Structure 1
């Protein structure tokens, strides 16, 4: 009858049959776990309010499915439950173990995040080696085709032609440091000039690396 009622979707009557006719708390818990229905757990808790053996069985099986606080609050004052002290000690021990595991996992996660952050920062600030034959991953033409050709190096370590980036056709040309020094009468094209030029390029290129963008589009499809 329990099997047929469960297959018909009448889980409440099936659970009631297990409790009233069979009196098997472990089977009732297994049935509630199989159905994965929160309302069914509420029915099981209500049925167990006046049955000490069921309350103890539930206390011994608390976990992801049963909140121990939700169960303990349903225990009526004056209700004698054999083995209640041992069951509560087991619950507290299990929760202390869970807290220890969470602290250990948090420490491991924090260490991993710190190591990955240092590796990311090191990879982003290190130099990039390239030659005249280095191909652009978008058009496969050499990156360094001339002294005035503008190439963009992203933090993801991809270097592409400026013209291969969306909006890169309207980027300003890289200033010649020799001509800048001659026109200004001194070495004014230093680090500040490079930073200003990079800021102008960054403001006009808003879509980011085209290689990573194509890869993300391929993953979505």
Structure 2
């Protein structure tokens, strides 16, 4: 497919945090939540770049090669090289991108919310008319994201995110530093939950969010639909 000339690349951001709180358990980004949207972006002919908080090879969680898309990307040298040399988020120019996408994985709960680069990229892309998107724990990036007027980006906007009920089911309620859905609601977000582990994608203008791993493909598709509609 020919890349639309007027669509800038999509910036895909993953966590650099490798340990799940005080549990000592390894974590990182959820692979399926990166590869499934990337597959959609590729099919649409829209380029994407991978960045992380610290750069370099980010830690991976939920590494499941039984998933055919995971397997395909893992055996794709271009993807492996891009992942191994992920860009440092703080060194990037947000004006170079049409959209930002934040993949999930529990690691995000420790390094997304308070990161200045995360907040700057979200604000600059959104205020320039771009798309801000995230899936599962990826909306941790939205917890402290503010617009130039000081308001929270999520205030009065419909969002989907990993629910408190899903967190309880995986038994990490006491491990994560905060409950994501509850915290976003405290910021004024209008949380739109679905039953545990079912697909849920919410589009509120140029804010696109998904609830869980099952929602990753749908978030990617919603980003592409909106970008191509604008082109």
Normalized against structure 2, the TM-score is what? 0.24
Report the structure, 1 or 2, having the larger helix content: 1
Higher RCO, 1 vs 2 (CA within 8 Å, ≥6 residues apart): 2
Instruction: Give the number of the structure whose residues are more often strand, by fraction.
Output: 2
Q: Choose 1 or 2 for highest CA Rg.
A: 1
